[in-house]
Amino acid sequence: MQNLKMEKSEPTCIGYLGPEATFSHEAATMLFSGNTLLKGAETIEDVFLMVVNRECEQGVVPIENSCEGTVNITQDLFNKYDVNICAEYYLRVRQNLLSREKSINDIRRVYSHPQAIAQCRAWLRSNMPGIEVYELSSTALAAKTVKAEPNAGAIGGSFAAERYGLNILCEGIEDDKSNVTRFFVIGKDSPKPTGEDKTSIMFFLKDRPGTLYKCLSVLADREVNMTRIESRPAKTLKWEYLFFVDIEGHREDVKLDAALREMERDCVFLKILGSYPRIPKG
């Protein structure tokens, strides 16, 4: 994906899930170049708030990982806040064992984010049996922690190793070598159609038999391709669910616009989260 270059005299502020050297930070550096200020946030919700409160023009948030699935908090926040998805980006995630030490034999404990630990569980079991593993809020915080702590290792990317001056003791320790994280760029603007687009929507259905089938059949009848569907508890009533769907096309396309209007008839509400250029997963 090409960098999203900003042609402005003043720095464009882009929020990301910090601290510095997280995979979100790495994705942001790959996406944006030029006169751009990258600003780390403590939580994913803080990234949303930066955009909502116009502290940053856009933000970069993780939405799903090919091994560990959907980042549920990100999905829930699209229901809570009014922002648009402006772009998507797929980052190949390569996990490494990082440390200030020079040998794996000197490591007594390992730190990382829960997802990173899960992505390397089989490797840890085979190569560091019985090692103490501690969960932290990010891989970057893990790297920052072991920078100051002897006999400690962190699971993280080479980006974090470079930023914090750590040694890479073992490379590519993720169990699945096709490990990829998908990120969304969120903002207030809506990108124009490119001819190769994707639209993300969220909807809540009326409580009637066959409503989900009827709602989704509208897409099939109009030959609109659905590429992803997820459900999440609505958190308003027990056993009620929100559905999140990705479909090919732009909201301004005549065929897709007609399909969404027809789907609304069977929904309590339907929210278009954004239309944005479609990127091959690679």
- Residues with catalytic annotation? 181, 183
In one letter, which amino acid is 250?
Answer: H
Residue 90 CB partners (closer than 8 Å, separation 6+): 1, 180, 181, 182, 183, 279, 281, 282
- φ, ψ of residue 96 in degrees (nearest 5): -135, 160
3-state secondary structure of 135: strand
Residue 239's Cβ-count burial label (10 Å; 0-12, 13-18, 19+) is: exposed
3-state secondary structure of 259: helix
From residue 160, give the alpha-carbon distance in Å to each of 2, 103, 117, 204: 23, 18, 16, 40
Residue with tokens 């079991």: 125
Residue with tokens 């648009």: 84
Please name which of 73, 86, 63, 64 lies closest in space to residue 185, comparing C-alpha atoms.
Answer: 86
Rg of the chain's alpha carbons, rounded to an integer?
A: 21
CA 94/CA 116 separation, integer angstroms: 10
Structure tokens that stand for 225 in this block: 């391709």
Q: How far apart are the first and last CA of the chain?
A: 11
